[in-house]
Structures are given as structure tokens and as C-alpha cells.
């Protein structure tokens, strides 16, 4: 999927549009902060974001700011509004005062292309800000074109745009709410989520599903980052996958989370110990050492169940052993990114530290990078496996006379060849290439082959050496084969 590009415009430069009722509030400063936060949250969700101002004081022309959006999917100008009349007046038979105006207006471009998104944003912003009079989508026309200069600019470059009024800074409640940086962050997150849903970008990495890393990759990873990792930890790693599969939860994500929670199973600075079999800090709060489980399997099962509590609202497949399962608001964090309370749109989650989910994903990507180039013998191979090591197996079996196509896929033909090899070498012919088969294969390859007769020029080898320019080795072959080689060359 190609990236969605958003152009964000912070309305007004410098210190501009002071609130008449909350003097600390300047619209321009709020716009500036909010657009930076929104940029960050959009980028986390996979958007590409450009902005119209180099800094708060930079002040390009309105039209030019809108036209900056050229090539983008959307232009968004951020503001808070002002109502200017201070006297009371009648409206729809009610007494009315502009100070009371507290609603979200989103002005969408006349092309109508941003209209449905603008409506969703208006409703969400009104909800998050708790405005008195809700949210609306509007258009504003002037002489047959856009009324707002920035929207004239974005329309001129063919980009649907909107001007978002985050309620009115002439309303004291709204202005005070917007002065709080934590509120702005919540607002930015909520807006980014609306955009992500609208453009069909998933909110993050689903916790539910099939693991992408295998046990060998996880074991290799932990051995690399913690050379003193206890053998019991290495042995239990396959349980992440089997327990995860039972509940439809990605066991590799659980493993990456355990690495984070236990300091790569060093338990340095961790509230839990290895003996507790609690590899995810379950039940750890200030002054509490957390839950304990009888076996590593139960500890991992509880973690998987706890992740499932966050990931979806499906019934547990197994017997519930997570003592904290019911404390979770089911399905509040379907994505790893949302496990962190700060990143979760509902303000719920597993942990309160910033970027908790992002840290898990960083570990996961390193686990997945392990063994891109696997060597034969690193893992047990069976039908359905793929990879460099399968290709190596196919090539070596071919060399031993079990002709195979080296396509890196362990299919029926490879299985048949492995079975044949196994029975030829007195092994159980189960077609699974494990340590015993590997040992036998290496042994078979080491058996000295009959001496090369002079006419058997190793042509493949010669060509490879020529291509890579290995002159010394070529000379050695030349010395051995003399005349025949000269003819070839
Ligand atoms: Zn404004």
C-alpha cells in the first residue's frame, strides 16, 4: 500500500489571537503544539506528514500554505474559533451569548471529497473536548470559490482540504481545556485514529494471529542478547508458540514482551524473579512483586490469556489461569501499539510507560531478523518448511544421488528423498530432517569420493572461479588438469 500523505497547517504565526476570557491562551500557540503532536501520532500510524511552517514565527501566505499540500491526500489547517459579540441576544427564541459558544466546526473544501472525514473528525473532536454543542461540517464559499485562503490554496493544487476549528477560545471552558498539553496529546491521538480508520490503515500490529517468528529465531535471539540465559528459558520458548496458537494470539509478540519485561531474561531491575514463572510482570505494581505460577508453561499461558483479554472479546479456548483476566477491558488494545496506556485511544492498556508497544515491536523486529540466512542443521526441517537451509539440504541430497530440485521448499519430493536417505542410513524413515539425519548426512558427505580421473574437469567450479577472479585456485586446477582445461578456457 502506498503511503497516505497529509499536509498539516498550524493556523497563524507568533503569538496571535489571544483569548478574551483566558488570557494565557493564544490560538497560534495551541495550533502549533497540536499540529506537531498530530504529526507524531500520524507518523506512528504509517502516514507521511509535511507541514507548512518551519517554526512558530514563520508566516507564509495563506494561499501558499494551502498549496504546500500539492501531491498530498489531504490538507488540514488547525485552529480554534472566536465569536466576537459579547452582548446577549435572541437566537431561535433562546437567550444567547457568544461566550457560550462551544462547538467544533470543520470547514471542508467545496469539492466534497473531505466531507465524510470532516464529519467523523468533527464528532470525535467534540467528544474528546466535551464541547457543549457538538460538532458540524460546513463549507464556506466566496465568489464561487473557497472562502478560506488556505483552502483556496489546497483546492488549487487539487487536494481536498479542511479547516478545523477546535471549538471557540472565546469560551472559557474550551480555552482552558486547550491550554492543557495532556489534553492536546489526547486530541491528536484521537484525530490520528480517525484518519487511520478513514484511510483503511490499520491502527497498528495485531496481537491476534499466527506468529511470524519461529522458536529457533527466538532462541537464537535470546542467546545473542543474553549469553547467560538459563537453559530452562531456552527450553520453554516453543511454549510461546504452542500456547499462543491455542488462543489465536501471536506467541512471538508475547515472547518479545517477555524480553522487555524481564530485561532479556536477566531479571536485572525486574520486580519478578525467574522462579516466579511470571515473564510479563503480571500483577506487578508499586510495592507488589506480582503473580507466581507453578510452571513456565502456566506462566506463559497466563501471559497469552492476558494478551487475549486486551486483543479481542473472544472466549478463552483453554481453562482460565490468568488471575487478572477479568480486570481487563476486553478488546481495548487489539494492536501491540495500543498496549501502552499513553498510546491507547481509550487510555487503557497493559503498561503506563511511554511507547510500551513500540518497544515490544522493536524487539520483535530484531527477533524476525535472526537467521535470514539459516544454515542447514540449525533447526529441524519437515514438509512445509522453506528457506536457505532447505535449499542446502536439497543440494546436498542431490550431490549424494537423491536428485532434487533446489527450490528452497520442503515439499513431497524432498520428503521422499529424506525418507530414502534415512532408510539408506539405518534411520527411522519419517521424512523429518532432525539432528540424527543431519549427522548422517554430514557423515555421508565426508566419505571420500573416488579419486577424480584426469578427464573429469570440474567445469562448474572453473567457471565460478573465473567469474569471481580467483586466479590462484584456477592455477591449481590448471596444474592438475593441464590440457583439458586449456581447451575449455
Ligand atoms: Zn484561526
104-128 tens-digit pLDDT: 999 999 999 999 999 999 999 999 9
Q: What pTM did the predictor assign?
A: 0.52
Cα 218 to middle of ligand 1, angstroms: 52
The percentage of the chain sitting over the pLDDT mark of 70, rounded to a whole number, equals: 88
Reported as a pLDDT band with limits 50, 70 and 90, residue 487 is very low
Residues 145-159 have a mean pLDDT of: 97
Superfamily of domain 5-198: Zn-dependent exopeptidases (3.40.630.40)
Nearest to 150 by CA among 136, 161, 139, 137: 161
pLDDT at 469: 62
Secondary structure of residue 185 in the 3-state scheme:
helix
Which of the residue ranges 98-107, 295-304, 366-375 has the most confident prediction, judged by mean pLDDT?
A: 295-304
Which range, of 79-83, 267-271, 292-296, 476-480, averages the lowest pLDDT?
476-480
Which range, of 20-29, 302-311, 358-367, averages the lowest pLDDT?
358-367
Q: Is the pLDDT of residue 205 over 90?
A: no
Cα 163 to middle of ligand 1, angstroms: 9
Query: What are the residues whose beta carbon lies below 5 Å from ligand 1 (ion)?
Result: 11, 79
- Angstrom CA distances, 404 to 63, 375, 391, 420, 422, stand at 66, 18, 10, 12, 16
Average model confidence (pLDDT) across the chain: 89
pLDDT at 385: 87
Cα 56 to middle of ligand 1, angstroms: 14
Cα 80 to middle of ligand 1, angstroms: 5
Cα 81 to middle of ligand 1, angstroms: 6
Tell which phi-psi region holds residue 281, choosing left (phi > 0), alpha (psi between -120 and 50) or beta: left
Rounded Cα gap, residues 85 and 200, in angstroms: 42
pLDDT at 483: 46
pLDDT at 3: 81
Domain ranges of the chain: 5-198, 215-369, 388-446, 459-488
Reported as a pLDDT band with limits 50, 70 and 90, residue 224 is very high
pLDDT at 293: 97
Cα 52 to middle of ligand 1, angstroms: 15
Which range, of 127-131, 269-273, 350-354, averages the lowest pLDDT?
269-273
- Angstrom CA distances, 41 to 38, 184, 197, 343, stand at 5, 12, 13, 9
For the domain spanning 215-369, the CATH number is 1.10.530
pLDDT at 489: 47
- pLDDT tens, 293-335? 999 999 999 999 999 999 999 999 999 999 999 999 999 999 9
pLDDT at 458: 58
Cα 175 to middle of ligand 1, angstroms: 13
Rounded Cα gap, residues 7 and 231, in angstroms: 52
Cα 338 to middle of ligand 1, angstroms: 32
The percentage of the chain sitting over the pLDDT mark of 90, rounded to a whole number, equals: 72
Rounded Cα gap, residues 213 and 258, in angstroms: 15
Reported as a pLDDT band with limits 50, 70 and 90, residue 452 is very low
| 39 close to 187: Cβ distance less than 8 angstroms | no
Q: Is the pLDDT of residue 271 over 90?
A: no
- Identify the residue with better confidence: 346 or 93: 346
Q: Would the CATH topology of 5-198 be identical to that of 215-369? A: no
Cα 345 to middle of ligand 1, angstroms: 26
CB atoms within 10 A of CB 45: 20
Cα 46 to middle of ligand 1, angstroms: 28
Cα 305 to middle of ligand 1, angstroms: 48
Cα 347 to middle of ligand 1, angstroms: 29
For the domain spanning 388-446, the CATH number is 1.10.101.10
Cα 199 to middle of ligand 1, angstroms: 26
Amino acid at each position: 500500500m502506498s503511503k497516505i500523505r497529509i499536509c498539516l497547517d498550524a493556523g497563524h504565526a507568533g503569538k496571535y489571537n489571544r483569548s478574551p476570557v483566558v488570557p494565557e491562551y493564544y490560538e497560534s500557540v495551541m495550533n502549533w503544539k497540536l499540529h506537531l503532536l498530530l504529526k507524531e501520532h500520524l507518523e506512528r500510524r504509517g502516514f507521511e506528514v509535511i507541514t507548512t511552517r518551519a517554526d512558530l514565527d514563520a508566516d507564509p501566505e495563506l494561499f501558499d500554505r494551502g498549496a504546500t499540500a500539492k501531491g498530498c491526500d489531504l490538507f488540514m489547517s488547525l485552529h480554534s474559533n472566536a465569536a466576537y459579540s459579547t452582548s446577549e441576544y435572541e437566537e431561535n427564541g433562546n437567550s444567547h451569548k457568544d461566550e457560550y459558544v462551544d462547538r467544533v466546526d470543520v470547514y471542508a473544501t467545496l469539492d466534497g471529497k473531505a466531507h465524510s472525514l470532516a464529519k467523523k473528525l468533527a464528532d470525535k473532536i467534540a467528544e474528546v473536548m466535551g464541547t457543549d454543542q457538538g460538532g458540524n461540517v460546513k463549507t464556506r464559499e466566496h465568489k464561487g470559490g473557497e472562502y478560506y485562503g488556505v483552502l483556496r490554496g489546497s483546492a488549487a493544487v487539487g487536494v481536498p482540504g479542511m479547516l478545523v476549528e477546535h471549538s471557540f477560545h472565546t469560551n472559557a471552558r474550551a480555552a482552558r481545556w486547550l491550554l492543557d498539553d495532556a489534553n492536546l496529546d489526547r486530541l491528536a491521538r484521537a484525530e490520528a485514529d480517525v484518519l487511520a480508520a478513514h484511510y483503511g490503515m490499520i491502527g497498528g500490529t495485531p496481537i491476534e494471529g499466527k506468529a511470524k517468528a519461529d522458536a529457533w529465531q527466538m532462541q537464537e535471539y535470546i542467546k545473542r542478547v543474553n549469553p547467560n540465559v538459563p537453559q530452562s528459558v531456552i527450553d520453554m520458548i516453543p511454549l510461546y508458540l504452542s500456547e499462543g496458537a491455542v488462543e489465536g494470539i501471536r506467541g512471538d509478540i508475547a515472547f518479545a514482551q517477555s524480553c522487555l519485561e524481564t530485561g532479556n531474561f536477566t531479571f536485572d531491575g525486574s520486580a519478578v524473579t525467574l522462579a516466579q514463572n511470571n515473564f510479563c510482570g503480571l500483577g506487578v505494581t508499586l510495592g507488589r512483586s506480582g503473580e507466581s505460577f507453578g510452571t513456565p508453561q502456566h506462566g506463559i499461558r497466563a501471559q497469552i490469556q492476558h494478551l487475549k483479554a486486551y486483543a479481542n472479546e473472544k472466549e478463552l479456548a483453554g481453562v482460565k489461569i490468568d488471575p487478572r483476566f477479568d480486570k481487563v477491558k476486553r478488546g481495548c488494545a487489539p494492536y501491540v501499539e495500543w498496549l501502552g496506556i499513553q498510546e491507547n485511544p481509550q487510555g487503557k492498556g497493559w503498561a503506563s510507560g511511554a511507547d510500551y508497544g513500540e518497544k515490544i515491536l522493536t524487539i520483535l523486529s530484531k527477533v524476525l531478523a535472526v537467521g535470514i540466512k539459516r544454515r542447514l542443521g540449525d533447526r529441524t526441517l519437515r514438509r512445509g518448511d522453506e528457506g536457505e537451509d532447505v535449499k542446502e539440504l536439497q543440494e546436498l541430497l542431490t550431490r549424494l544421488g537423491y536428485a532434487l530440485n533446489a527450490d528452497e521448499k520442503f515439499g513431497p519430493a524432498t520428503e521422499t528423498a529424506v525418507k530414502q536417505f534415512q532408510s539408506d542410513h539405518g534411520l527411522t524413515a519419517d521424512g523429518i530432517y532432525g539432528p540424527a539425519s543431519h549427522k548422517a548426512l554430514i557423515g555421508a558427505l565426508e566419505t571420500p569420493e573416488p579419486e577424480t580421473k584426469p578427464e573429469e574437469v570440474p567445469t562448474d567450479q572453473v567457471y565460478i572461479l573465473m567469474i569471481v577472479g580467483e586466479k590462484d585456485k584456477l592455477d591449481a586446477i590448471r596444474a592438475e588438469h593441464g590440457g583439458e582445461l586449456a581447451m575449455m578456457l
